[in-house]
């Protein structure tokens, strides 16, 4: 059995000139709660479409639960729960009818779990879907995915339109009922707080490329922002440097580990270290997806400063 | 479960179509079989009344054709318009399963509707009006005696005609990814085909096969079932779900 619940190799998908997914190498360990982060249009939904066979890749491979998406899709889908980006279901069905339709496809379906989630999430099971609020529509999707008892859950922005209380109930259900039982949860989100609440792995995608894939614990403990000044400082993105930006003679680096060693190396090249500080997930996300390109941003004086320097 | 879902999706259209069709064929049977006893049918208006009966007969034929269009537009392609395709395709079934199950549900509903329409017409005539049943619904001017063994021929011919329109619309709805565009395209295709057929005949006296010509053949002596023509149109009807399967297998959502 593969140690990866999801594994992609150079996965590529383009729409005309736009590379929606560009050589993606994703590794989602079995049993992980994996938060897939990215801006709007970063490639999150396209990646999910490729993983579930909704779209075909132009290059590369994708394996889910150890099986090839292009040849074993039905086996994959039998063991995978899915919540879509647009929370659209059948308008003329009630939630109870959605359950009736959905359960027949999945042998692991639990009626007891469905009843519990319907109660906990306060879903009006007898009301037509078209008359439900946005939040309740999302809840119906979540109910269907949760009660499926799937080995892998692929959730595309699952908390869209949920109020904070319901989002919390849902996230706790995910963490306790599913992640606790060794199932894999792969979810995309814009909400860094909820990723920090339940994820143990994080992937950050931008413009179709995976910028970072790391344990959340490693980010909290080891990631550092280093701001240095000097001439001819290195700008290559190579281990341990995750991101390097430069303007004039001011450089800022995000390093994933060995921050002290990296600072020593910079000093050896004549740099002065202005600041070295730990980063939150939000800081890392912003550092990685900020729009300035290395070496070409002429206005980087303010934004290139470390958060504390910028505030000063 | 998908069969149940297809039934749930289309049951409203099916039941309303049944009600409308049955009402029209019953009225038609009453007018055709018993026109002399109807007040408007006596005296100088009798001719007008018979003309009305014939027009209603044509209406039944048009209604069966429209039913084919309507059922086809309720098919799988509408899932794209509703935005429910990702939900559907997340099920562990092949895409062909959805195409053929959806198509079979509509074909089965039509298979039920056409004989039922006939039975309503015939029963209405024999039981309620206490007349020797002469069924004329959905046929042209010459009535068929009922219950003669030939009745099935007319039922089969009408069913194949409805199936052609249904399958065409099922395909165009999938192709255009929505019921409205799908139905418009299907109507356009039928009109264009009919226009070409008329043009060919008018200019070069060449005949293109036209599906409702089967009914005309059946209505004329010797009332022989046009087997070759029916087989050809059945093949056309079956070609559309094959094409739909081909399209849907390649569709990205």
Q: What pLDDT sits at residue B139?
A: 41
3-state secondary structure A146-183: HCCCCCEEEEECCCCCCCHHHHHHHHHHHHHHHHHHCC
Which residues in chain B have their CB less than 8 angstroms from residue A86's CB? 83, 86
| Cross-chain Cβ contact B8/A75 below 8 Å | no
Higher pLDDT, B216 or A86: A86
Q: What pLDDT sits at residue A179?
A: 78
Instruction: Report d(CA A172, CA A177) in Å as an integer.
Output: 8
Which residues in chain B have their CB less than 8 angstroms from residue A76's CB? 92
Maximum C-alpha span of chain A = 71
Q: What pLDDT sits at residue A295?
A: 38
What three-state secondary structure class fits B195? helix
CA distance B180 to chain A (A): 17
Q: What pLDDT sits at residue B25?
A: 79
CA distance A238 to chain B (A): 37
Which residues in chain B have their CB less than 8 angstroms from residue A106's CB? 92
Write out residues in chain A with pLDDT < 70, as ranges. Answer: 291-312
| Cross-chain Cβ contact A77/B8 below 8 Å | no
Q: What pLDDT sits at residue B185?
A: 97
pLDDT digits (tens, 9 = 90+) for B65-114: 889 999 999 999 999 999 999 999 999 999 999 999 999 999 999 999 98
pLDDT digits (tens, 9 = 90+) for B229-253: 999 999 999 999 999 999 999 999 9
Phi, psi dihedrals of residue B84, rounded to the nearest 5°: -100, 5
Q: How confident is the model at residue B33 (pLDDT cuts 50, 70, 90)?
A: low
| Cross-chain Cβ contact A78/B92 below 8 Å | yes
Q: What pLDDT sits at residue B138?
A: 39
The pLDDT of residue B227 is above 70 = yes
HSE (CB half, 13 Å, CA atoms) of A68? 5
Report residue A83 as tokens: 């919540």
Q: What pLDDT sits at residue B150?
A: 67
Nearest to A77 among B1, B4, B92 (CB): B92
Identify whether the C-beta of residue B44 lies closer than 8 Å to the C-beta of residue B154.
no
Cβ neighbours of residue B64 under 8 Å, at least 6 residues apart? B21, B114, B117, B138, B158, B161, B162
The pLDDT of residue B38 is above 70 = no
| Cross-chain Cβ contact A101/B94 below 8 Å | no
Instruction: Report d(CA A64, CA A72) in Å as an integer.
Output: 9
Distance, C-alpha B88 to centroid of its chain? 28
Instruction: Report d(CA A33, CA A30) in Å as an integer.
Output: 9
Identify whether the C-beta of residue B8 lies closer than 8 Å to the C-beta of residue B101.
no
Region of poorest pLDDT, from A93-97, B87-91, B144-148, B186-190:
B144-148
Report residue A159 as tokens: 């908390």
CA distance B93 to chain A (A): 6
Nearest to A88 among B1, B8, B82 (CB): B82
Q: What pLDDT sits at residue B127?
A: 61
ipTM here: 0.87
The pLDDT of residue B226 is above 50 = yes
Report residue A123 as tokens: 């879903």
Name every residue in B having a CB less than 8 A away from some CB of A: 1-2, 4-5, 8-9, 82-87, 89-94, 252-253
Nearest to A77 among B9, B84, B91 (CB): B91
Identify whether the C-beta of residue A162 lies closer than 8 Å to the C-beta of residue A194.
no
| Cross-chain Cβ contact B253/A91 below 8 Å | no
Q: How confident is the model at residue B146 (pLDDT cuts 50, 70, 90)?
A: very low
Q: How confident is the model at residue B132 (pLDDT cuts 50, 70, 90)?
A: low
The pLDDT of residue B56 is above 80 = no
Q: What pLDDT sits at residue B74?
A: 92
Instruction: Report d(CA B29, CA B130) in Å as an integer.
Output: 12
CA distance B101 to chain A (A): 15
Identify whether the C-beta of residue A179 lies closer than 8 Å to the C-beta of residue A185.
yes
């Amino acid at each position: 059995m593969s140690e990866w619940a999801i594994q992609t190799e150079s996965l590529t998908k383009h729409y005309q000139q736009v590379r929606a997914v560009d050589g993606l190498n994703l590794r989602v360990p079995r049993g992980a709660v994996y938060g897939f982060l990215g801006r709007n249009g970063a490639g999150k939904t396209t990646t999910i479409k490729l993983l579930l066979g909704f779209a075909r890749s132009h290059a590369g491979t994708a394996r889910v639960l150890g099986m090839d998406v292009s040849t074993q899709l039905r086996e994959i889908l039998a063991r995978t729960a899915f919540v879509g980006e647009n929370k659209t279901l059948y308008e003329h069905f009630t939630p109870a009818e959605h359950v009736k339709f959905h359960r027949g496809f999945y042998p692991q379906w639990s009626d007891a779990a469905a009843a519990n989630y319907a109660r906990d999430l306060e879903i009006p099971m007898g009301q037509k879907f078209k008359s439900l609020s946005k939040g309740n529509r999302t809840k119906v999707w979540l109910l269907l995915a949760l009660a499926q008892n799937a080995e892998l859950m692929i959730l595309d922005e699952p908390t869209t339109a949920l109020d904070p209380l319901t989002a919390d109930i849902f996230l706790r259900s995910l963490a306790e009922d599913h992640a606790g039982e060794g199932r894999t949860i792969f979810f995309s989100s814009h909400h860094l707080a909820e990723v920090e609440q339940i994820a143990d792995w994080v992937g950050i995608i931008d413009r179709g490329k995976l910028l970072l894939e790391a344990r959340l614990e490693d980010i909290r403990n080891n990631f550092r922002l280093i701001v240095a000044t000097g001439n001819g400082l290195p700008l290559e993105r190579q281990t341990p440097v995750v991101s390097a930006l430069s303007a004039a003679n001011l450089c800022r680096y995000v390093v994933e580990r060995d921050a002290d060693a990296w600072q020593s190396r910079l000093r050896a090249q004549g740099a002065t270290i202005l600041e070295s500080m730990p980063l939150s997930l939000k800081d890392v996300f912003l550092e990685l997806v900020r729009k300035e390109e290395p070496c070409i941003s002429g206005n980087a004086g303010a934004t290139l400063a470390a958060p504390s320097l910028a505030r000063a | 479960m998908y069969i149940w879902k297809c039934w749930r999706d289309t049951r409203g259209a099916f039941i309303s179509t049944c009600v409308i069709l049955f009402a029209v064929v019953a009225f038609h049977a009453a007018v055709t079989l018993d026109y002399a006893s109807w007040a408007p049918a006596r005296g100088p208006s009798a001719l007008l009344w018979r003309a009305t009966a014939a027009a209603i007969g044509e209406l039944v034929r048009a209604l069966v054709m429209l039913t084919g269009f309507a059922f086809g537009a309720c098919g799988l392609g509408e899932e794209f318009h509703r935005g429910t395709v990702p939900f559907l395709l997340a099920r562990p079934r092949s895409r062909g399963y959805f195409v053929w199950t959806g198509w079979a549900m509509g074909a089965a509903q039509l298979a039920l509707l056409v004989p039922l329409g006939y039975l309503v017409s015939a029963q209405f005539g024999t039981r309620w009006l206490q007349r020797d049943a002469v069924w004329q619904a959905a046929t042209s001017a010459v009535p068929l005696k009922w219950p003669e063994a030939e009745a099935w021929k007319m039922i089969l011919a009408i069913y194949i005609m409805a199936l052609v329109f249904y399958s065409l619309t099922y395909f165009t709805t999938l192709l255009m990814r929505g019921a409205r565009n799908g139905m418009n395209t299907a109507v356009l295709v039928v009109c264009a085909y009919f226009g070409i057929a008329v043009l060919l005949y008018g200019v070069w006296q060449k005949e293109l096969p036209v599906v409702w010509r089967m009914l005309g053949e059946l209505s004329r002596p010797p009332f022989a079932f046009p087997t070759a023509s029916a087989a050809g149109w059945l093949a056309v009807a079956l070609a559309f779900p094959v094409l739909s399967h081909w399209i849907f297998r390649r569709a990205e959502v």
